[in-house]
């Protein structure tokens, strides 16, 4: 999260910025219960029969993740609740926003909750949605100043509060089906971006666990720090005609451009997509763990959240192996001490994370690099994703992209003893442990655990990643299909220098 580096370096130079007024608590229409809709009927037919079980379809590909969201929007009958850290105004973001608008026009109630950190610049998109009486948009933990230098001063003057972000990503439709995991809304998460696409993972769920997803949304929606968009932007400041923006959205919904596929927009297409996802679902016991929004802005962020505690318990219960996928990997002495017991019991802990070449944020890589030797000394097996993995055409199903584009890792997954799967928004770093709101879906399924473990093993193969080791002299080396490297591979000296310089700074908690 490079956007935090300047506030960290300049925090001592802060000035005064006026605070926000209390959030307007006019919540609008309230929907109680679960009405019978085509989606609830589909979910009832697809739900497992085992007591306490839910049905899970893991969305490994960006294409499937996009199609699942598009199909759920079209099948919605009563309500859609979407909560995201990032929602881009790009072809995929505009298309899904446009279909939300069309859903609202047929009577579906839509609530959209967005973290403030990435809203700036995209206000017309969300303001155009907010114009519809069936759509409400709220912004979590906003800065008092909305643009320009004042926005940076807001971060500097209110550093502790504004470092607490809503990183959760949930998508719940009709209270019957939900998607949770690591993906934001944007081209790079759905394999549509021309230059950089992320390997990511989320889960389409049907059954009791969807109720927990809804509870997570309600907790954050009703937080005192969730502000109606109309309170932050009482009028459109972009100079754009919001009615014209909404009309362009409707046109994009009916004739999407820049996607490279035809989203399901007819009843027959939606039925086919939903049948495909339910047909590939696995029934298992599942539990959603989520962090609650902070209350007091002055309270120290020094205690692990619910999600961090749950992960720690799973790790301590492991008997043989822990496999980790984490876009950002930063563990310091306090966290590494918890691995002592695993090491004594010969539990193998292996992690896949980004290399400097595949990481979209040099700042985050610097925090990882600062602790990389210590993690290796602690016995962690570390693999770093190549930007040009051999498996790119398989993962992205886009041979044209793989000849010139870069692949990055954004997924946040873990497998414990090949029988428990964890998929969520939680990166294994200090920000997720102490500062962010996160979600974790824990699934007890040997079938899904076996599949995910195999996927991680493939990603760790020499053709797809470099294994980082310490030699006898304590020096780092990167080993892959292209041989051994004594410095960060596939990047130039300036990127290496920048990462090394930033790694000297003790700012890992804020990355």
Which residues are tagged catalytic?
A: 167, 169, 174, 410, 412, 417
Give the count of beta carbons closer than 10 Å to the beta carbon of residue 306: 15
d(CA 41, CA 269): 17
- What is the rounded end-to-end Cα distance, in angstroms, of the chain? 5
- Residues 352 and 327 sit within 8 Å (Cβ to Cβ): no
- Residues 390 and 463 sit within 8 Å (Cβ to Cβ): yes
One DSSP character per residue, 333-385 reads HHHHGGGHHHHHTT-EEEEEEE-TTT-S-HHHHHHHHHHHHHHHHTT-EEEEE
Is 477 exposed, middle or buried (CB count within 10 Å of its CB: 0-12, 13-18, 19+)? Answer: middle
Name beta bridge partners: 424: 440
Four-point Cα dihedral 362, 367, 373, 374, nearest 10: -160
Q: At 198, give phi and psi (nearest 5°).
A: -100, 140
Query: Degrees (nearest 5) of the Cα angle 399, 404, 409?
Result: 80
d(CA 55, CA 176): 11
Question: Kind of pairing, strands 420-424 and 412-416?
Answer: antiparallel
- Residues 323 and 414 sit within 8 Å (Cβ to Cβ): yes
Four-point Cα dihedral 219, 220, 225, 229, nearest 10: -130
- Residues 20 and 383 sit within 8 Å (Cβ to Cβ): no
- Residues 269 and 67 sit within 8 Å (Cβ to Cβ): no
- Collapsing DSSP states into helix, strand and coil, what is residue 423? strand
- Collapsing DSSP states into helix, strand and coil, what is residue 141? coil
Q: To which H or E segment does residue 39 belong?
A: helix 38-46
Q: To which H or E segment does residue 500 belong?
A: helix 493-502
One-letter-per-residue 3-state SS of 428-452: ECHHHHHHCECEEEEEECHHHHHHH
Token representation of residue 330:
């930063």
- Residues 364 and 2 sit within 8 Å (Cβ to Cβ): yes
Name beta bridge partners: 209: none
Token representation of residue 389:
């993995």
Where do we find the tokens 């890589």? 365
């Amino acid at each position: 999260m490079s956007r935090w580096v300047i506030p960290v370096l300049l925090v001592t130079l802060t000035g005064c910025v006026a605070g926000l007024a209390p959030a307007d608590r006019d919540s609008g229409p309230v929907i109680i219960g679960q009405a019978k809709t085509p989606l609830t009927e589909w979910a009832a037919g697809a739900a497992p029969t085992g007591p306490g079980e839910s049905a899970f379809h893991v969305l490994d590909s960006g294409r499937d993740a996009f199609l699942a969201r598009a199909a759920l929007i079209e099948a919605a009958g009563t309500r859609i609740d979407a909560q995201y850290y990032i929602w881009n105004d790009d072809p995929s973001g505009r298309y899904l926003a446009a279909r939300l608008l069309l859903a609202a026009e047929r009577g579906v109630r839509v609530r959209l909750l967005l973290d403030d950190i990435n809203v700036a610049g995209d206000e017309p998109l969300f303001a155009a949605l907010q114009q519809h009486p069936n759509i409400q948009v709220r912004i979590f933990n906003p800065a008092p100043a909305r643009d320009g230098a004042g926005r940076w001063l807001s971060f500097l003057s209110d550093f502790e509060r504004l470092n607490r972000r809503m990183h959760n990503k949930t998508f719940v439709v009709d209270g019957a089906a939900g998607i949770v995991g690591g993906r934001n809304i944007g081209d790079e998460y759905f394999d549509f971006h021309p230059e950089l696409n992320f390997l990511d993972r989320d889960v389409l769920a049907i059954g009791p666990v969807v109720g927990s997803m809804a509870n997570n949304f309600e907790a954050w929606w009703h937080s005192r720090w969730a502000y109606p968009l109309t309170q932050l932007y009482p009028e459109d400041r972009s100079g754009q005609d919001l009615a014209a923006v909404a009309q362009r959205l409707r046109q994009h919904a009916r004739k999407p451009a820049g996607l490279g596929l035809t989203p399901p927009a007819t009843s027959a297409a939606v039925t086919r997509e939903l049948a495909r996802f339910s047909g590939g679902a696995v029934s298992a016991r599942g539990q959603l763990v989520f962090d609650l929004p902070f209350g007091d802005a002055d309270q120290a962020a020094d205690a692990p959240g619910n999600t961090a505690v749950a992960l720690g318990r799973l790790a301590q219960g492991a008997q043989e192996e822990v496999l980790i996928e984490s876009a950002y990997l930063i563990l310091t002495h306090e966290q590494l001490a918890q691995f002592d017991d695993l090491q004594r019991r010969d539990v193998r802990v292996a992690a896949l994370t980004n290399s400097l070449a595949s990481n979209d944020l040099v700042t985050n890589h610097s925090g990882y690099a600062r602790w990389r030797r210590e993690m290796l000394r602690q016995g962690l097996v570390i693999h770093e994703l190549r930007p040009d993995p051999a498996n790119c055409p398989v993962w992205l199903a886009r041979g044209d992209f793989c000849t010139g584009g870069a692949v990055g890792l954004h997924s946040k997954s873990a497998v414990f003893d090949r029988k428990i799967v964890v998929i969520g928004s939680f990166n294994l770093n200090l920000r997720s442990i102490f500062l962010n709101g996160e979600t974790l879906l824990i699934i007890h399924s040997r079938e899904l655990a076996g599949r995910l473990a195999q996927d991680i093993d493939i990603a760790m193969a020499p053709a797809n990643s470099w294994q980082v080791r310490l030699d006898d002299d304590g020096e780092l080396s990167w080993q892959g299909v292209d041989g051994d490297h004594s410095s960060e591979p596939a990047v130039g000296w300036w990127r290496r220098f920048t990462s090394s310089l930033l790694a000297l700074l003790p700012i890992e908690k804020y990355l």
